[in-house]
């Protein structure tokens, strides 16, 4: 494919060592690849599930979630027919819960438009909810062995270093340069293993910091290693959003070993953890005075007055760019919650099964852990907990 003359890289024919690079990557990968659950199958559905879970999430974290998921939703039809709450619950603690909703939507789409069979073309894959450029390429190559680039953070870093790409791969221009390089590399064949080899190298050898070039199978082919400035790549020009400090006031309302969770309706709750079942909480700026919004919230959901107790402990948490200090308050309802208003659902959930039935985030899990640890440990340890954070 012709390349614009303004490109910071020479044309692909000026990368004659691509084929030899591919060969070395392949033999290294085949000798050193980790035994991961999704590498034991070629089921396109399983590959799709793994790729969705792996978005912005480390391999080691995904493994148990993937295995539980495949047991509970073994195929497209099962997933398409499953209640959304169960699908979300399977992501409880994993984060980016939209991925779970999109997987279910994708399953419905596949039933509707492809007779329940995961499509093979890039275009059809891209049409699935939650499947972007990377995931489409990953499924096409890993499941179907098609020569499509799958450029994730690892591949961006590895190729930036090997070719000393001076453009930020996070920018549009840089992304296209990396993608072209990946495409050239795939011309040497074996896209399924080659794409995974690039990712595996980035995850295990060519790491963001402390890269182990001594153990790298392609150090001899790496331009940055040759020059000795590996750590300069990938170049970074785009700064991430500044993190902000926030406080979450959480009401833990307990009864008979259960906690009261409310359903966070879309557009009603600070824009985070929408659709999840959480202990009533709201986010406030550290400079603001604590408001009584929590009381109104619970009243609105359950029809009962809330009596806030003492702050019984705290924990740290993060939600995207927010660093949250969780402040846990014990609380009681003045009467029995009876109302079931439209879009204002609440539920008593056993502490022991948090996140397994109703989908619940790590924030609520942490808050409940603080509340129950205190209860079980007695007054002696409450001082210790209270001084944390």
Q: Which of 51, 180, 221, 278 is catalytic?
A: 51
Question: Site size for DNA, by CB under 7 A?
Answer: 63
CA distance 137 to 122: 7
Q: Does 222 bind DNA (CB under 7 A)?
A: no
Within 42-71, which residues bind DNA (CB under 7 A)? Answer: 50-51, 54-59, 61
Q: How far is the CB of 326 from DNA (least distance, A)?
A: 10
Q: Does 265 bind DNA (CB under 7 A)?
A: no
Q: Does 317 bind DNA (CB under 7 A)?
A: yes
Q: Which residues lie closer than 8 Å to 18 by C-beta, 6 or more apart?
A: 12, 184, 185, 187, 188
Q: Say what the alpha-carbon torsion angle 2, 5, 10, 16 is, to the nearest 10 degrees.
A: 20
Of these, 236, 339, 340, 388, which contacts DNA (CB under 7 A)?
236
Q: What is the CA radius of gyration of the chain?
A: 25
Q: Does 307 bind DNA (CB under 7 A)?
A: no
Measured from the Cβ of residue 342, the count of other Cβ atoms closer than 10 Å reads 6
CA distance 67 to 80: 18
Please answer whether residues 3 and 9 qualify as being in contact, where contact means their C-beta atoms are separated by less than 8 angstroms: yes
CA distance 203 to 58: 9
Within 154-183, which residues bind DNA (CB under 7 A)? Answer: 154, 157, 171-173
Q: Does 285 bind DNA (CB under 7 A)?
A: no
Of these, 117, 288, 321, 384, which contacts DNA (CB under 7 A)?
321
| 342 catalytic residue (yes or no) | no
Sign of CA dihedral 165, 171, 177, 182: positive
Q: Does 41 bind DNA (CB under 7 A)?
A: no
260 SS3 class:
strand
Catalytic residue annotation? 51
Q: Would you tell me which residues interact with DNA (CB under 7 A)? A: 36, 38-39, 50-51, 54-59, 61, 93-98, 102, 129-136, 138, 152-154, 157, 171-173, 196, 199-200, 202-203, 208-210, 236, 238-241, 243, 271-274, 317-323, 361-363
């Amino acid at each position: 494919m012709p390349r614009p003359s303004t490109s910071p890289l020479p044309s692909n024919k000026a990368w004659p060592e691509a084929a030899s690079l591919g060969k070395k990557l392949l033999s290294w990968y085949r000798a050193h690849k980790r035994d991961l659950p999704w590498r034991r199958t070629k089921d396109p559905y399983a590959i799709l599930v793994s790729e969705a879970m792996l978005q912005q999430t480390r391999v080691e974290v995904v493994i148990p979630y993937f295995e539980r998921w495949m047991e509970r939703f073994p195929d497209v039809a099962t997933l398409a027919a499953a209640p959304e709450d169960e699908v979300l619950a399977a992501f409880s603690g994993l984060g980016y819960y939209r991925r779970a909703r999109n997987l279910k939507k994708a399953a419905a789409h596949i039933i509707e438009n492809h007779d329940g069979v995961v499509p093979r073309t890039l275009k059809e894959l891209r049409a699935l909810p939650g499947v972007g450029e990377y995931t489409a390429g990953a499924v096409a190559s890993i499941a179907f062995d098609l020569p499509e680039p799958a450029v994730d953070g690892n591949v961006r870093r590895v190729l930036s270093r090997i070719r000393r790409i001076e453009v930020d791969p996070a920018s549009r221009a840089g992304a296209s340069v990396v993608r072209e390089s990946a495409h050239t590399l795939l011309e040497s064949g074996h896209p399924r293993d080659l794409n995974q080899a690039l990712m595996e190298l980035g995850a295990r050898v060519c790491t963001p910091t402390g890269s182990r070039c001594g153990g790298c199978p392609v150090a001899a082919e790496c331009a940055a290693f040759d020059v000795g400035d590996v750590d300069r790549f990938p170049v970074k020009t785009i700064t991430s959003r500044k993190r902000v400090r926030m406080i979450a006031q959480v009401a833990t309302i307990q009864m008979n070993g259960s906690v009261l969770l409310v359903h966070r309706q879309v557009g009603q709750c600070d824009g985070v953890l929408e659709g999840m079942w959480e202990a009533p909480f709201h986010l406030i700026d550290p400079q603001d005075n604590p408001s009584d919004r929590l009381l109104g919230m619970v009243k609105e959901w359950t029809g009962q007055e809330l009596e806030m107790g003492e702050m019984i402990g705290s924990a740290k948490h993060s939600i995207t760019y927010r660093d949250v200090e969780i402040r846990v308050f014990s609380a009681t309802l003045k009467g029995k919650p009876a109302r079931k208003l439209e879009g204002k659902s609440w539920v008593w959930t056993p502490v022991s099964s948090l996140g397994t039935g109703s989908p619940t985030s790590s924030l609520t899990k942490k808050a409940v852990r603080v509340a129950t640890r205190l209860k079980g440990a007695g007054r002696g340890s409450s001082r210790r907990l209270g001084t944390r954070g």
